[in-house]
Amino acid sequence: MPPSYLRGVRFLRQHAMLITTILIATIISSPLLAQTDQLLSWNDTATKKAIIEFVGRVTKEGSPDFVKPEDRFATFDNDGTLWVEQPIYTQVTFAIDEVVAMAPQHPEWRETEPFKSILAHDRAAMERFSIQDFEKVVAVTHSGMSVQQFQEIVKKWLAEAKHPRFKRPYTECVYQPMLELMQYLRTNGFKTYIVTGGGQEFVRAFAGPTYGVPPEQVVGSMGKVKYEYDKEGRPELIKLPDVLLIDDKTGKPEGINMVIGRRPNGAFGNSTGDQQMLEYTGAGDGARLMMLVHHDDAKREYAYGAESKIGTFSDALMAEAKKKGWIVISMKDDWKTIFPSAVR
């Protein structure tokens, strides 16, 4: 009998009361008890059943599809999958607001496009902005400060800004059923990652409190940074206006490989930008779950698809989903509620 066993028994005898207390606390807070109740905002449709069935196969020891807890990974797109992306990506709204906030320090912007149109609140002109125009806007609003400073700016903006239609903070324009799905997967041993075309540092600024996803589990489009020293000689990483990775389409599997280095077991998206992530996930062995949120609920949120510039869900993607067995989530039919209640 190894000495560690003896020590264990002795420890057990000496701390019986403490152990009982810990045990009761553990049992009471045990996620096991709540497991079947976790998808409360999902209607009892085939979609919900598919989620529960997948998790059952992957977590059942002895099952041919069993995956060890440390190997369970799920990746989630952000815009349109976890939070609202209409009428315009939240990060673009942020950038536009930042241009307005920075304008007093840049009198030249009054005469220079694309800033001139932004400062004139010329929506028609802004809708015609080219990729290059957006790059200029992102460059001035997303570089020149340290990573920490940038995240503080984002947090401050998110604390004040409100969605134009829902009149609530953007971080509350998140989908309650998806929050429950992430939590349900985590309860079942999955690590949940965000894999977004949005900026990695932008999403890291709110992913913790909003989604329960820590910074190291946010993969996003990445800009270059420069290692510098501030006035006090403290090192910091300064954001540069150069792109390192566009984490969209084929960039999603690339970003997943850089940061995770594994093929996810489950992947969740809503647009053509997520197709390669779902393909890459589905190409692995064993049980896999690929899902696409379909925005078909104009009443409670928005209805858009193939014709939308933002969050395009093309007919080709719908055909691919059918062919590959990817599950299309109908917001209208599968979701009991869309947003969290005001008090969380």
Out of 50, 88, 161, 225, name the contact with a second copy by CB under 8 A: 225
Q: How would you list the strands of the sheet with 73-76, edge to edge?
A: 235-245, 218-229, 191-199, 73-76, 266-269, 289-294, 327-330
Residue 218 touching a second copy (CB under 8 A) = yes
Residue 257 touching a second copy (CB under 8 A) = yes
Q: Segment contacting a second copy (CB under 8 A): 105-113, 168-176, 221-229, 293-301?
A: 221-229
Q: Report the C-alpha gap between 155 and 158 in whole angstroms.
A: 5
Q: Report how far apart, in Å, the C-alpha atoms of 216 and of each of 112, 191, 213, 226 are.
A: 38, 11, 8, 20
Whether 281 and 260 have beta carbons less than 8 Å apart is answered as no
Q: Report the C-alpha gap between 212 and 214 in whole angstroms.
A: 6
Q: 266-269 and 73-76: which strand pairing?
A: parallel
Count of residues engaged in binding a second copy, rule: CB under 8 A: 49
| Site mask for a second copy (CB under 8 A), range 266-295, x = bound | ----------x--xx--x------------
Whether 317 and 277 have beta carbons less than 8 Å apart is answered as no
Q: Which is nearer to a second copy, 102 or 244 (CB)?
A: 244
Residue 108 touching a second copy (CB under 8 A) = no
Helix (H) or strand (E) holding 244: strand 235-245
Q: Report the C-alpha gap between 109 and 103 in whole angstroms.
A: 7
| Site mask for a second copy (CB under 8 A), range 140-179, x = bound | -------x--------------------------------
Residue 261 touching a second copy (CB under 8 A) = yes
Interface with a second copy (CB under 8 A): 4-5, 7-9, 11-12, 19, 23-24, 27-30, 33-34, 70, 147, 191, 200-201, 204, 214-216, 218, 222, 225-227, 234-237, 244-245, 250, 253-254, 257-262, 276, 279-280, 283
